[in-house]
Chain A
Amino acid sequence: MLKHLLLTRDPIDHAALRAGRIATPTAGAVLEFLGIVRGSEDGAPITAIDYEAFDAMAEHQFRKLFDELERRWPRVESVRLVHRLGMVPVAEPSLWVEISSPHRGEAFEACQWLIDEMKRAVPIWKRSISGA
């Protein structure tokens, strides 16, 4: 299984990421998920979210999740994940995930599982920013 992980302070260029996908004759399903910063948090307007990470542990925990994903869904051919850190303005993506597999069922299941587990185990935190 191809595993690609990037934690970056730069904007997520999902068009470039998509263009970099390696097509295979067996991957009949390619699922792409974008997590976007919403303009409100707990009902109050915000302008951005500032993401902080314990980088070394976040990378380690993501790698463990990728390995577990491979064990659970061995037919998944590739998982690529990019998480942006630092200040992410409203309406811009903070998370990009792509899963390729022969059929859509395992791609949807694996993607949902990976994001749920990320929110349980990967040390990334957010702080809402409001005002100019």
Chain B
Amino acid sequence: MNQEAVVRVEVRYWSWFKDLAGVDHETFDIVAGNDLGTLLRRVREKHPKLEEVRRSTLVAVGVEYQPENHLLGDGDEVSLFPPVQGG
């Protein structure tokens, strides 16, 4: 039986998404090679309130916006936040 490598990513929540998640950051252990969409499904299962704002959620890995097929690696920092409001 193949053993799947596990990597650890940090998920950070910004603005009022911190209230929806109840934390400002947490770690998830995922299978190496999983994409962002797979992680987001787990995040939303854990925090159903984030499912309700799915359509307006912005997602970044590090300091770049990334699509759901972006592959995650060990130590990646994933950020979830609502629409931005600078100015």
Q: In the complex, which residues 1-36 of chain B have their Cβ closer than 8 Å to any Cβ of chain A?
A: 12, 14-16
Residues of A bordering B, CB below 8 Å: 35, 51-54, 56-58, 60-61, 83, 94-95, 115, 118-127
Contact A61 B63 (CB under 8 A): yes
The one of B64, B79, B85, B87 in contact with A115, judged by C-beta atoms closer than 8 angstroms, is B87
Interface size on B, residues (CB 8 A): 17
Contact B63 A57 (CB under 8 A): yes
Q: Which residues of A lie under 8 Å from residue B65 when comparing CB positions? A: 121
Q: Is the interface of A mostly helix, strand, loop or mixed?
A: mixed
Contact B86 A52 (CB under 8 A): no
From B16, B58, B79, B84, name the one whose CB has the most chain A CB atoms within 10 angstroms.
B84
Q: Which residues of A lie under 8 Å from residue B82 when comparing CB positions? A: 125
The one of B14, B62, B87 in contact with A123, judged by C-beta atoms closer than 8 angstroms, is B14
